[in-house]
A and B are shown apart, each in its own frame.
Chain A
Amino acid sequence: MVFLGLYAFAGFRYDGFFSLRVFIGFLGDNATLGIVAIGMTLVILSGGIDLSVGSVAGCSSIAAAILIERSHIHPLIAMLVLILAGALLGFAHGYLISRFVLPPFLVTLAGLFLCRGLALLLSTESIPINHSFLDSVKQIRIPFGGGVYFPFQAILLVLMLIAAGFILKVTRFGRTVYAIGGSEHSANLMGLNVNRTRNLIYAFSGTCGALSGLIFALTTASGNALNGGGLELDAIAAVVIGGTLLSGGYGSIWGTLLGLLIFATIQTALMFDGSLSSWWSRIATGGLLLVFIVLQRVIQPSRSGS
Chain B
Amino acid sequence: MLKRLGPALYPLVGLIVVLLLNAAWLPGFFVISVRDGHLSGSLIDILLRAAPVILVALGMTLVIATGGVDLSVGAIIAISGAIAAGVLAHPSGTLFASFSGNSSMVLVLGLPLIAASMAGAFNGFLVSFGIQPIVATLALMVAGRGAAQLLTNGQIVTFSDPTISAIGNGFWLGLPIPILIAFACAFFVFLLVRRSALGLFISATGASEQSSFLAGVPRNSIKIFVYSACGLLAGVAGLIICSDIKGADSHNAGLYLELDAILATCLGGTAMTGGRFNLAGTLIGAILMQTLTTTILTRGVSLEATLITKAILVVGVCLFQSASFRALFARRGVD
Q: Interface residues, chain A, CB within 8 Å of chain B? A: 49, 96, 99-103, 105-107, 109-114, 116-118, 120-121, 124, 233, 236-237, 240, 246-247, 277-283, 285-287, 289-290, 293-294, 297
Contacts and interface: CB of A to CB of B under 8 A. Distances in A.
A229 B139 CA distance: 17
B145 A105 contact: no
Contacts of A96: 315, 318-319
Contacts of A116: 307
B138 A289 contact: yes
Interface string B149-179: 1100110000000000000000000000000
Given A100-B322, A110-B314, A113-B311, A237 B142 contact: yes
Nearest to B316: A110
Contact of B318 (A102, A240, A290): A102
B145 A121 contact: no
B322 A246 contact: no
**Residues of A contacting B: mostly:** helix
A297 B129 contact: yes
B130 interface: yes
Contacts of B59: none
Contacts of B254: none
A120 B131 contact: no
B259 interface: yes
Contacts of A240: 135
Nearest to B141: A233
Interface stretch (B28-36, B99-107, B221-229, B298-306): B298-306
Given A287-B143, A289-B139, A106 B311 contact: no
B86 to A, nearest CB: 14
A290 B143 contact: yes
Nearest to B140: A286
A282 B272 contact: no
Q: Which among A114, A117, A124, A246 has the greatest number of chain B C-beta atoms within 10 A?
A: A117
A114 B314 CA distance: 10
Contacts of A247: 132
B308 A113 contact: yes
B108 interface: no
Nearest to A286: B143
A105 B324 contact: no
Contact of A105 (B142, B272, B306, B322): B272
A282 B96 CA distance: 21
A280 B142 CA distance: 11
